[in-house]
Amino acid sequence: MKSAPKFVNDKVRRAYEELENEPFEKKELQKNLKKAFRDIAENADYGVQIPKRQIPKFYLRRYGIDNLWKYNLPNAWRLMYSVRRDDIIVVAIILEWMNHREYERRFSY
């Protein structure tokens, strides 16, 4: 199912854009995020769906989502997004990306 990836807010969009001005490692992260956005645009359920009971309350409260997906990026980074229908199109809402340590904290692993 094709989708239109969108950032959840301007803060996340700016964080993505600022990766362009960072050292090589962060530019590499931006390149990997671009690939992830293309994959998600082609297939909204490209990632791994997080079971509803395991969605951290942080996401439920902050974004009011009812589903959460994880896209595994290289070097143990994770991209978190949610999928929703907006009239006749499917929108993949980019919530955040984090390294593995932050991911484990967010999910209480």
- Domains, the chain, in order of start with CATH, read 4-106 (3.30.2310)
Helix (H) or strand (E) holding 97: strand 89-98
- pLDDT-based confidence at 8, cuts 50/70/90? very high
Query: What's the mean per-residue pLDDT of the chain?
Result: 92
Contacts for 54-63: CB closer than 8 Å, 24+ residues apart: 54/107, 56/106, 56/107, 56/108, 58/106, 59/95, 63/8, 63/93, 63/95
- pLDDT-based confidence at 34, cuts 50/70/90? very high
Choice between 80 and 20, residue whose per-residue pLDDT is larger: 80
Helix (H) or strand (E) holding 91: strand 89-98
- pLDDT-based confidence at 1, cuts 50/70/90? confident
Per residue in 11-32, pLDDT (tens digit) is: 999 999 999 888 877 889 999 9
